[in-house]
Structure 1
Amino acid sequence: MIKKVLFAVSFLMVIAVSAQKNNDAKSVTDAAEKLRLAMISGEKSALESLIVPELTYGHSGGHIDDAKEFVEKLVSKKSDFLTIEISNQNIQILGNTAIVRHHFYATTADLGKAPGDVTLDILLVWTKVKNDWKLLARQAVKSEKKK
C-alpha cells in the first residue's frame, strides 16, 4: 500500500513539474514575441517592461549595450527595425532561467538610412522575476544566410 501511495505521489509530481515547464516555455515564447514587436515599434515602456536593469546586450559587431543604451537606440531610431522574422527557435528552461536560441532576419533603416538586411543567430537569456520573464542577456553572431 505504501509503495502504491509513493508511486502515485511521485507520478503526480512528475506531471506537475512537466506542466510547469510547458507553461514556462509558452511564457518565454510569448515574452520573446513581445520583445520582437517592441523592437520594431521602439515603444519605450514596452521595451523597459521586458528587460532587467542589469541587461547586457551584445551586438554581432562586438559592441555591448546596457539596458539604458539598448532602449535609447530603439526609441531614437538609431537602431530602427522595420521587420524582424524569427525562426528555428529553441527554448531550454533551467529553474528560473531560460536560454533561447533563434535565427533572426530583419530589415533595418537605422537613422533613416536606406533599408538594409541583417541576418543573425541570437542567444537570449531570460530570468523569471516574480511571474514574468525578463531579458537578462543577449548575444548576436553574424549568420551566413536566411534560414
Structure 2
Amino acid sequence: MKHKLKAVLLITLLAMISIGTSPVKAQSKSVNQVAEAVEKLRKAMVDPDAKVLDELVSDSLSYGHSSGVVQTKAQFIESLTSGSSDFVSIDLTDQTIRVVGSTAVVRHILSAATNDKGKGPGNVKIGILLVWVKTKGEWKLLARQAVKV
C-alpha cells in the first residue's frame, strides 16, 4: 500500500510539473500575447492614439519604411497623430509569429488604404518584419521594417 501511494504521488507530481512548465503552452501563451499586441498596434495606427502608441512602442524603436525612411519612436507617433501618415484601414495577412525567449519576430503582409497629407487617397501592399521584446511583462515594438512586395 505504501509503495502504491508513493507511486501515485510521484506520477501526480511529474504530471503537474510537466503541465505547468510545458514549453508548448508557454510558447502558445507568448504567441497569443504578441498577436494581441500586433492587433493593438494595427488599431492604433488606423485610429491614432498617442497614449496607446507610447505604451506599445519601445523608447528605442527603429521604424523602417519601404521607402528607406527610418523613424524614431517620437517621429513614428507624431507622423500618425498629425495625419502626415494616415491609414484609413489596415489588413494583415499571412502572419507568422516566432517567440524566442523574450523576443518575438512577426512577419505579415500589410494591405492598407491611405490618405497621407499631400498625397491624397492611396493603397499600399508591403511585407512587414516586426521585432517585439518583452519588457517588464509587456510586449514592446522594438523594430519594424517594411519591404515592397
What range describes the TM-score normalised by the shorter chain of this pair?
0.7 to 0.9
Greater Rg by CA? 2
Note the residue ranges of structure 1 that are not aligned, 5 or more in a row: none
Equivalent in the alignment of 1:122: 128
Equivalent in the alignment of 1:77: 83
SS in 2 for 1:69: helix
Q: Report the Cα distance in structure 2 between the residues aligned to 1:111 and 1:139, rounded to whole angstroms.
A: 22
TM-score norm. by structure 2 comes to 0.87
Which structure 1 residue ranges, 4+ long, deviate > 6 Å from structure 2?
none
Equivalent in the alignment of 1:91: 97
Equivalent in the alignment of 2:47: 41
| Equivalent position to 1:106, from 78, 87, 112 | 112
Q: Report the Cα distance in structure 2 between the residues aligned to 1:15 and 1:49, rounded to whole angstroms.
A: 29
Equivalent in the alignment of 2:61: 55
Give the number of aligned pairs: 140
SS in 2 for 1:33: helix
Mapped pair 1:19 → 2:25? yes
Q: Percent identity?
A: 41
Please provide the CA RMSD for this pair.
2.0
Equivalent in the alignment of 1:29: 35
TM-score norm. by structure 1 comes to 0.88
Note the residue ranges of structure 2 that are not aligned, 5 or more in a row: 1-6
1:61-109 per-residue CA deviation (whole Å, 9 max, x = no partner) reads 1010010100000000000000000000000000000000000000000
Q: Report the Cα distance in structure 2 between the residues aligned to 1:69 and 1:113, rounded to whole angstroms.
A: 19
Deviation at 1:14, TM superposition (A): 8.3
